[in-house]
Amino acid sequence: MTGLDWRRGPSFGTLCDVVASDKLVCVTGAGISSGLPQKLDPSKKLPQWSELLELLFLRFELRLPTQDRDDCRRLLRLDTDKSSAKEWPTGPELILCASILRKVDPAAFDLAFREAVTNRDGSFSPTHKLLLDLKPAGILTFNYDSGHENAAALAGIALKPMLPSTEAELVEALKTGTRPFYLKAHGSLDSALELVLTQESYREVLVKSPTYRAFVQNVLTNFSLLFVGFRISDPDFDAFIDAVAYQFGSPLRSHVALFHDRERSVDDIALRRRYGIHVLYFSDFGDVPHILSEALSTPGPVLQRHLQRSLSTQRQDRDAAHAHFMTLGLAGRVCASNALRSGIDTLVRASDHFALSEVAYSLGIIDAKSNKALLMELVENAQHADLAGRALTVLRPALLESDLPRLESWLEKFRRDPLPGPHADRIEKYIDYLLTYIPAKFRS
């Protein structure tokens, strides 16, 4: 698939449902930051892993022993036309190359590495912003830069980074379910601690940090992951899948990875079948923000099915739909509300009082406070008792003392002109109850 064809594949539907859920965690790699300007030289962009190691190889090449130099050239495929994914270095090969280069001069290597991946102050990409718009439960990044922090600061979102070594913070996050959590899995440029980038440091963080492993296991077990900014051959993606996900067995949830078309291979079969990772391919990196934005406003197949079930004449179908609505995250609730709202005018014209009453009830289940104005309007203009009754039953958590005069006017109106319907007598009871409940709630 190319261009906008990503909408047609099943993976886009999976992405929409993952984004709508309350269990979304974004896992990000270098690709989302590769267009950011470097701090020391804003005319240059942050490199991706393979590009960075090629630059570092050129810098340290003359100081390498002959065999190490030849090994690095072969590991980086410097004499190969990397026109397809198969010709790019694998994750383990890139990690091995970094280990060889760092041994030449650890201090100089670390300084050059940090300079190359430090972004200009305040900079972030559209993808950084869109990921925050998804309202995820957390972000787990393998990047060292401050793109996520910068996007969050501009949006007024508190995003405090945790590191694998900050055990107390990881334990607290596990206990309290901190949201959104923000884990910089391979270190941060704001920390003096060694960054994770060699075989030794990868082994250190995976084997010698039990709290970090427990945190990652919790994420893998209880959340759906969205991988953005990786190549299939990225060392971060390789290590995460092979060394961590493999140890935790079969996937319990569906995950989604966004990869460029040039990464297309049969590897996506193993990712889907062994790890539950559905691959969505795109043809241009500029598509990524559009894909995420589209997923925010598109009900996936699971949500779409429950939206339809919410209008069913069968009580068990509606109950199942309402139960699913309660599992939606902030983004999912907005998406579901908008989908239901879009059909109201059609139902009003058709005088479909049953469907209108069920739409009102579902809007209240999804988010009574954000849908309050519409629910109040539906009660105000109701032509049938079912609609007014269903709306009143879900308005309770959103009502304030300032709404009491309007409730009193409704009581007078519906006493004077009762609405048609078999349950018209309940409207007065609902309003009487609310007139008693609301003052009591705010007094307590």
Domain segments of the chain as ranges = 3-37+120-297, 301-443
The per-residue pLDDT for range 95-109, each reduced to its tens digit, is: 899 999 999 999 999
Q: How far apart are the first and last CA of the chain?
A: 59
Count, residues in the chain: 444
Residue where the block lists tokens 């945190």:
215
Interatomic CA distance for residues 196 and 60, integer angstroms:
20
Q: What is the pLDDT of residues 313-348, one digit of tens each?
A: 999 999 999 999 999 999 999 999 999 999 999 999
Token match 């059609």: residue?
346
The CA-based angle 425-426-431, given to 5 degrees, is 115
| DSSP letter string, 171-197 | HHHHHHT-TTEEEETT--TTS-SPPS-
pLDDT tens per residue across span 113-149: 999 999 999 999 999 999 999 999 999 999 999 999 9
Tokens of 50: 């393979």
Q: Is the pLDDT of residue 170 over 50?
A: yes
Rounded CA separation 333/343 (Å): 16
Give the model confidence (pLDDT) of 290-320 as tens digits. Answer: 999 999 999 999 999 999 999 999 999 999 9
Q: What per-residue confidence (pLDDT) applies to 2? A: 44
Q: How far apart, in whole angstroms, are the C-alpha atoms of residue 17 and residue 304?
A: 9
- At residue 39, the pLDDT reads 96
With a CB cutoff of 8 Å and minimum separation 6, the contacts of 77 are 87, 88, 89
Q: Which of 177, 186, 124 is nearest to 153 (CA)?
A: 124
Q: E-strand spans in 52-209? A: 138-141, 181-184
Q: Would you state the pLDDT for residue 423?
A: 83
Query: In the prediction, which pLDDT does 61 show?
Result: 96
| CA angle 375–377–378, rounded 5-degree value | 65
- Give the separation between CA 26 and CA 19, rounded to whole angstroms: 10
Task: Calculate mean pLDDT across residues 368-391.
Answer: 96
Q: Which of 336, 276, 283 is nearest to 305 (CA)?
A: 336
Q: Give yes or no for residue 371 having a pLDDT over 90.
A: yes
How far apart, in whole angstroms, are the C-alpha atoms of residue 39 and residue 61?
25
Residue 12 pLDDT > 70: yes
Measured CA to CA, the distance from residue 260 to residue 189 in angstroms comes to: 28
State mean pLDDT over 222-251.
Answer: 77
Q: Is 250 a residue whose pLDDT tops 60?
A: no
Residue 251 has pLDDT above 70, yes or no: no
Residue with tokens 């009581």: 411
CA distance 318 to 73: 62
Alpha-carbon distance of 146 to 128, in angstroms, equals: 10
Model confidence at 1, in pLDDT bands (50, 70, 90)?
A: very low
Structure tokens at 119: 């972004």
Two tokens at 145? 């830069």
Q: How many CB atoms lie within 10 A of CB 236?
A: 27
Give helix 353-367 / helix 315-325 axis angle, nearest 10°. Answer: 30
- The helix or strand, by DSSP H or E, that contains position 24, with its residue range, turns out to be strand 24-28
**What is the 8-class DSSP label of residue 45?**
B
Does the domain at residues 3-37+120-297 carry the CATH identifier 1.10.3470?
no
Residue 202 confidence (pLDDT) above 90 = no
Give the single-character DSSP code of 21. Answer: B
Q: How many CA atoms lie within 13 A of 65 on its CB side?
A: 6
| pLDDT category of residue 246 using cuts at 50, 70 and 90 | low
Measured CA distances, 128 to 120, 334, 374, 400 (Å)? 15, 20, 32, 37
Q: What is the dihedral of CA 241, 163, 192, 189, to 10 degrees?
A: 70
- On the 0-12 / 13-18 / 19+ scale of CB atoms within 10 A, 343 is middle
Q: How confident is the model at residue 92 (pLDDT cuts 50, 70, 90)?
A: confident
Q: What are the pLDDT digits (tens) for 253-294?
A: 899 999 998 888 888 888 888 888 999 999 888 899 999 999
Q: Please determine, for residue 18, whether its predicted confidence score (pLDDT) is greater than 80.
A: yes
Beta pairing class for 224-228 and 24-28 = parallel
Most confident of 86-90, 349-353, 440-444: 349-353
Which amino acid is it at 311?
L
